Chain A
Amino acid sequence: MPLHRTTSNPRTVSPSIVRLRAALAYTAFALTRAVLAYTAIIFTLQADPILAQAASESGWFNADRTQALVLGVILTGAILLYVVLAASGRPLFIRKIAGLETVEEAVGRATEMGKPILYVPGLNDMDEVQTIASMNLLGHLATIIAGYDSRLHVPVRKSLVMSVARETVQQSYLSAGRPDAYQEDDIHYVSDAQFAYAAAVDGIIVRERPAACFYLGGFYAESLILAETGNSIGAIQIAGTARPPQLPFFVAACDYTLIGEELFAASAYLSKEPRMLGSLKGQDAGKGIAIVFILAGSALATLESITGSETVREVSEIVLWLFR
């Protein structure tokens, strides 16, 4: 006879049904948000007299951009599909990203040396995707730093970035169980002027001599100035940007560089958060589509160039409609 009286007879639910329920709930939630966002956008557009007049003259649908709509639906559909799969508990593989493995090592080194860690989130504001990715990485880094009890210094160029960075770092310290270690003043505004900001960060680097410098976000002409100064004091430097003109400088002056999309993949890689992993997988599907169309497009263009056939040109027009 059982010692405790069971209140109900628990039904065993198979894990696949649990996953399916989670996936359905997530899809319903995502769709509801999309409908609400769409309603809000239409309301906003109609409320604006200039936009409403433009819409009444040319209509709400621009037929010239049908391809963009179709591609957008395909790509976002792939992303949503993988996000749903990830949310349902399906394991998603992400390859190793060089540089990210050394983040913890860099923080550990700074702790051993008793020196701070410098984090530069780029020059852009919060309307730039690179800054958003940078804030995700900052959150992850702050969690590690809180665990090691090191000091994190984040000079920023934009006031909004400062607000978001403070919020992010505070949350990270809270989740690491070290809210007392959070220092709001270590995340501070410098100046909106590009080279004034660069001069100030250079000053911080040579005076505080951080053991590790992270430059993750959107950078411009100051990238080499910052990376070279960090290099001169012997700090471990990890950089990442999606701005191609600045990548050579980071590659030359830093220990590790996240090239382009690696910056966006990094937050998914570090956090292992299902939605981010799913989104990354969906973007890979987009790259797969691009490769297939480039190969098909080049093959058809070559055939057309050699034969000069009108039929090949017509087939090419139909097959490659999506990118015309």
Chain B
Amino acid sequence: MDVTLQLWIDAALTLMILSFLYRDNPFYKFAEHLFVGVSAAYLMAIGFWDHLVPNLLGKLFPSLMSGVVPGAVGRSPDYYYIIPAVFGLLLLTRLVDRWAWLSRWALAFIVGGSAGFNLPRFLDSDFIIQVQSTMIPLVVLDQSGNLLWGASFSHIVLVLGVICGLVYFFFSVEHKGVLGQVSRVGIWVLMVTFGAAFGYTVMARISLLTGRMEALGAWLATIF
């Protein structure tokens, strides 16, 4: 496509989307519907050619798919893949009222399987590694035995912050008395963390805005 035409389309769609900042209007509606329609169709095509064809059809019918799936030539069919194919077809039974209940088998398999596969992963990343990283000395000394105030303070804040945060997420007991106070500190720790994260992410969003402004700048440069 001609670069200038591409720039004009890019700028027009950007301005249409940005017009939402004023209010909902026909230009925004047009850009929104175009975006939704194009992306849905594009991702469906990607899903078919990048997932269904190489991962299922290429395994079950390698000779038929040899033209489109690299490495399928000379490979024997892997009938093991009939199982996911059947589960996939079961999902489509929702389209027929009489057989719709069969789709629950596939859904149950997906939900149950995901929960099972995620358990060891999350146990590692969200539990073991987190606890491990919090087991740190509260008093940090340098090589010659002098106290490092900054590092020690940082470690104390980290350990206390994690414990108070964990107490906030205790659901079995009423947050009253000492537990209530600790939990209150926990929510303050969380809020401070959110504040820092908010600022950091806003900076990242500004860089996205800069990117759009640069695109509009390039378009304006073609005009003037």
Contact = CB atoms under 8 A, between A and B. Distances in A.
A190 interface: yes
A197 B162 CA distance: 35
Contact of B170 (A192, A197, A200, A284): A284
Contacts of A71: 123, 127-128
A154 B140 CA distance: 53
B224 interface: no
Contacts of B201: 245, 248-249
A163 B103 contact: yes
Contacts of A295: 163
A195 B208 CA distance: 13
A297 B24 contact: no
Contacts of A301: 135-138
A200 B32 contact: yes
A87 interface: no
B166 A203 contact: no
B35 A290 contact: no
B77 interface: no
A181 B136 CA distance: 57
B191 A203 contact: no
Interface in B5-32: 17, 20, 23-24, 28-29, 31-32
Given A71-B128, A191-B43, A196-B40, A297 B35 contact: no
A192 B119 CA distance: 26
Interface in A267-324: 269, 280-281, 284, 286-287, 290-291, 293-298, 300-302, 304-306, 320, 323-324
B174 interface: yes
Given A191-B36, A294-B159, A302-B138, A287 B131 contact: no
Interface in B131-159: 131-132, 134-141, 155, 159
A302 B128 contact: no
B173 A95 contact: yes
A105 interface: no
Contact of A95 (B116, B136, B175): B175
Nearest to A320: B135
Contacts of B209: none
B172 interface: yes
Given A196-B36, A259-B190, A75 B123 contact: yes
B55 interface: no
Does more than half of chain B's interface fall in helix, strand or loop, or is it mixed? helix
Contacts of A297: 131, 134-136
B122 to A, nearest CB: 8
Given A196-B40, A293-B131, A252 B169 contact: no
A191 to B, nearest CB: 4
Interface of A: 37, 47-48, 67-68, 71-72, 75, 92-95, 97, 126-129, 132, 160, 163-164, 167, 189-193, 195-197, 199-200, 202-203, 206-207, 221, 244-245, 247-249, 251-252, 259-262, 265, 269, 280-281, 284, 286-287, 290-291, 293-298, 300-302, 304-306, 320, 323-324
28 contacts: A48-B80, A75-B123, A93-B174, A95-B174, A126-B111, A126-B114, A129-B115, A129-B118, A164-B107, A164-B111, A167-B107, A191-B39, A192-B44, A193-B35, A199-B35, A200-B32, A203-B24, A251-B191, A269-B171, A281-B171, A281-B172, A284-B171, A291-B167, A294-B159, A301-B135, A302-B138, A305-B139, A323-B135
Interface of B: 17, 20, 23-24, 28-29, 31-32, 35-36, 38-40, 42-44, 47, 80, 91, 94, 103-104, 107, 110-111, 113-116, 118-120, 122-124, 127-128, 130-132, 134-141, 155, 159, 162-163, 166-167, 169-175, 190-191, 193-195, 197-198, 201, 205
